Homo-oligomer: A and B are copies of this chain.
């Protein structure tokens, strides 16, 4: 799903058309059933046939909604990432790059529940995150998706600051730093016991503030 589609999905209350509504329902049902199965019995041990059967749909139909088995596993992640990116775009223009990124990620996690609970229960979303982190093949895809997001973030930072991303390395560097910190915090959170989002926020803020000042200094040089 692109950002545009995500925005459209939230700003169009009555999608109109029975055909379209049916499609949305099928898609949602596939996502929910898939995440339920993945979190219960593991990603590898769940077959596409199982997911399709749980929704009373043929396997072929599943592959018309999702290009592959991985894609359905990241459905709620996709929504969360759109949420985060939108938060960054809504940041005041006078904020420094790292401050804007920091504010966006903390805000996004704070208000994540309301945005994706239409798709899946937030609790399921969180459990699925752990499955992703602990399943090698999913972790690999997750890291690639993060890399793609970082590219978009760098372009947005460059736009905000009026820089040319092809000649100035700073947008990509600050985003790479930011991404590194986020991943360290996320990993520590996954390994820890606490499940709450607040813990994740605190952990992230702590690590960001640890390297933040040094990066901010360098930025202005």
Contact with B along A209-220 (1 / 0, CB 8 A): 011011101100
The smallest C-beta distance from A123 to any residue of chain B, in angstroms, reads 27
Q: Does A83 contact B (CB under 8 A)?
A: no
A166-220 at interface with B (beta carbon < 8 Å):
169-170, 172-173, 176-177, 179-181, 183-184, 207, 210-211, 213-215, 217-218
Q: A214 with B218: in contact, given A144-B136, A173-B184, A180-B173 (CB under 8 Å)?
A: yes
The listed residue (B173, B184, B217) touching A207 by CB distance below 8 A is: B173
Q: Does A9 contact B (CB under 8 A)?
A: no
Q: Does A147 contact B (CB under 8 A)?
A: yes
Contacts of A179 in B (CB 8 A): 180
A210 and B169 within 8 A (CB): yes
Q: A211 with B177: in contact, given A169-B184, A172-B184, A184-B172 (CB under 8 Å)?
A: yes
Interface set of A (CB-CB < 8 Å, partner B): 136, 139-141, 143-144, 147, 169-170, 172-173, 176-177, 179-181, 183-184, 207, 210-211, 213-215, 217-218
Known contacts A140-B144, A169-B184, A217-B217; 19 additional CB pairs below 8 A are: A139-B147, A140-B140, A143-B144, A143-B147, A147-B183, A170-B210, A173-B180, A173-B181, A173-B211, A176-B177, A176-B183, A176-B184, A177-B180, A179-B180, A211-B215, A211-B218, A213-B218, A214-B214, A214-B215
